[in-house]
Amino acid sequence: MTMTETTLTVNGQTRTLDVEPRRLLADVIRQEFDIAGVHIGCAHGACGCCTVHIDGTPRLSCLTFAVQCDGRDIKTVESLGGFDATHVLQLAFKSEHGLQCGYCTPGFLMTLVPYVEENVARGTLPSDEDIREAMSGNICRCTGYHGIVAAVRKAIGDQIGGGQ
């Protein structure tokens, strides 16, 4: 079995590991970094549960080999608001009932944080249709998406002063 020396920085923790080239980033984050917020829902890139940020861009960790991320900065949902879940989008998910079982929530948050930030920077409150398009790569089997859309609208609106 061939191993490749790979240096990953996950949530500010840098480690150099010997990794099989076929190992997925999701597995390395969960097993080697002991970070549980990366969920594997479908293992085919269809559900979005495994979304992380690689150098600031949302990516599916179930479709990314760990060796592809050598030298990259990776953030998981744990990097947002910590165990207290204090990020504005996390707080909005809570207040707007954007989660039920919570399994898909880390993926939604990691997908939508850049979207929220972009809209806040522009000072625009997107339509529900635009929000649904932004989250279209994520699947939730519990909520029906209404609470998630409301949470995104609230997180953006509260920051630009537009409310809901």
| Residue where a domain stops, chosen among 52, 76, 100 | 76
d(CA 70, CA 87): 28
Q: What is the pLDDT of residue 161?
A: 85
**pTM of the entire structure?**
0.94
pLDDT of residue 127: 98
- On the 0-12 / 13-18 / 19+ scale of CB atoms within 10 A, 46 is middle
Summarised one tens digit per residue, pLDDT across range 124-164 is 999 999 999 999 999 999 888 999 999 999 999 999 986 55
Checking DSSP bridges between strand 13-19 and strand 57-60, what pairing results, if any? Answer: unpaired
pLDDT, mean of residues 88-115? 96
CATH of the domain at 139: 1.10.150.120
How far is the C-alpha of 163 from the C-alpha of 21, rounded, in Å?
A: 47
Instruction: List the one residue out of 47, 92, 45 whose CA is nearest residue 64.
Output: 45
Task: Assess whether 102 and 52 both reside in one domain.
Answer: no
Residues 71 and 85 in one domain: no
How many domains would you assign to the chain? 2
pLDDT value at 1 more than 90: no
Q: What's the CATH code of the domain at 63?
A: 3.10.20.30
> In this structure, what are the phi and psi dihedrals at residue 9, rounded to the nearest 5 degrees?
-115, 115
Q: Mean pLDDT over all residues of the chain? A: 95
Q: Provide the domain limits for residue 35.
A: 4-76
